[in-house]
Amino acid sequence: MKKNFFLIALLAGLKITFAQAGNVGINTTTPANTLTVNGNASVGSSYSNIPAPADGLIIEGKTGIGTSNPLNMLHVQADADISQPLASNIVARFDPVGGADYNKEASIIVNGGRTILGYSVAGNKYAFLRGNQATDIRLQVSDANANLLSDTFVISAASGNTGFVGLNTANPQARLDVRGNIKALAGTGTQTGAVWNGTSNFTGFEAFTTASGDAWVGIQRSGTGAPLHISKSVGSTDGSMIIFGINGLGIGSIMHSATGILYSTTSDMRLKENIRPSQFGLSTLKKIGIYDYNYKADEKKALSTGVLAQELYKIYPQAVTPGGDDEKVNPWQVDYSRLIPVLIKSAQELQAEYEQLEAQIKKLENKI
C-alpha cells in the first residue's frame, strides 16, 4: 500500500511523464506496460482529492498524451505520422472488442450530441457531426471558431418527416429536399458553357435555382434521341402529359388520347371579361407578309416559310414575343398558333362576303 501511495503522490499534479524506460505498476508488482493499473486507482491534483473509483483509473484535471501542455481534459498529440489502410496520419484509434476487426460495429459517444470530426477543409473548416435532441442527424461544416456554415446534410428523425433527407436545409420537407442547384453531367472535369442553350462541354441535366427564388431546368443531349422523354404506362388511354400554370391557375396542357397528342390552351369563358367581337380579321391578315428563307445557323440551308417577327409585331403584337439586343441569346419569337383566331375571323368575313355576293347574283338572275 505504501508503494501505491508513493506512486500516486508522484503522479499527482495531472502530468504523467516517463523520462526513462521502465514500467510502473499500480496495484500490481509486475507491470506489463509503461503504466499498468490493476483494480481501482486514482490520480488527482492532491491525494485527499481522490474519489473512491468503482474500478479502473481516474485522473482529475488536464491530461496530456504526447504533449507536456495539455489544453483540454484529454489532449492526445501524435509524435509520428502513422498510416494504415483505411486512414492516414492517425492520432488516436479505438477498436471494438477483438481488436482491429473492421467488420464489427463500434461507437464513440460524446455527451452533448456534437462531435467535430477534425477533417480540415481549406485550412480552417472542419466536418461537424451533430445529433439534435433526437430530431435529426446533421453533417455540417464549422470554421476554426466553431461557427456553423449554412451548408447542411440532414437525416431527419422528427415526427412526421422521419427519414427525410435534406441538402443545404436544416428542415427537409420531403424524402429528398435540395435547396440549391442539382447537376448531373456525363463527363469529368470542369464544365464550361450551359446546358440551357446546348453550349455545355458535357451533356447532362441541371436544375438551377437563384437566391431570389427563380428556378429552371435544362437538359442537353448529344445523341439522336430527344433530351426529354415523357411517357405513360401501358393501358393509359387519355390524360395529361404536361400541365402549365401561373399562380395556381392552369393556363394550358399537353394531353394524350389513345391515338395522339392534344395541345390545349385554357379558354374558359368564366375566366374572361370585356368580351367583344375582334377587330382583327381579313384586313389584318392581308397586311401580314409571308416569306421564304433559311436560318444562318442551318448548315443544310433548308428552306423555311413564315413571317418576320419584328414586322408582325407592328401588325399583330399578340403573336410576338420581343427579344433583346443579342439575337443568339434572346431572339424575337412568334407563336403561330396565335394567328389562328385571325385566320378564323378572316374566313368568316370571306364567307359573309361570299354569301352576300351569292345573294346579289340570285337577285340578278331573277331579274334576268
pLDDT digits (tens, 9 = 90+) for 350-363: 999 999 999 999 99
- Separation between Cα atoms, residue 289 and residue 203, nearest integer Å: 39
Residue 72 lies in a domain: no
Residues 216 and 119 in one domain: yes
Residue 177 lies in a domain: yes
* Model confidence pLDDT, tens digit, residues 1-32: 444 443 444 444 444 444 344 555 656 666 66
Provide the pLDDT for residue 45: 43
Residue 99 lies in a domain: no
- Where is the domain boundary, 220, 249, 266? 220
Q: Is 366 in contact with 358 (CB distance < 8 Å)?
A: no
Q: How many domains does the chain have?
A: 4
Residues 331 and 261 in one domain: no
Smallest CA-to-CA distance from 236 within 212, 264, 211, 255 is with 255
- Separation between Cα atoms, residue 37 and residue 14, nearest integer Å: 16
Provide the pLDDT for residue 68: 86
Highest mean predicted confidence (pLDDT) among 34-43, 149-158, 161-170: 161-170
Residues 297 and 358 in one domain: yes
Residue 100 lies in a domain: no
Where is 282: in which H helix or E strand?
A: helix 282-287
Residue 41 lies in a domain: yes
* Model confidence pLDDT, tens digit, residues 233-266: 888 888 899 999 998 888 899 999 888 899 898 8
Q: Could you tell me the pTM of the whole model?
A: 0.59
Residues 119 and 188 in one domain: yes
Residue 249 lies in a domain: yes
Dihedral angle computed from the Cα positions of residues 44, 50, 54 and 58, in that order, rounded to the nearest 10 degrees = 0
Helix (H, G, I), strand (E, B) or coil at 272: coil
Residue 74 lies in a domain: no
* Model confidence pLDDT, tens digit, residues 116-134: 655 566 666 766 777 665 6
Residues 131 and 196 in one domain: yes
Range of the domain at 295: 279-368
Provide the pLDDT for residue 186: 94
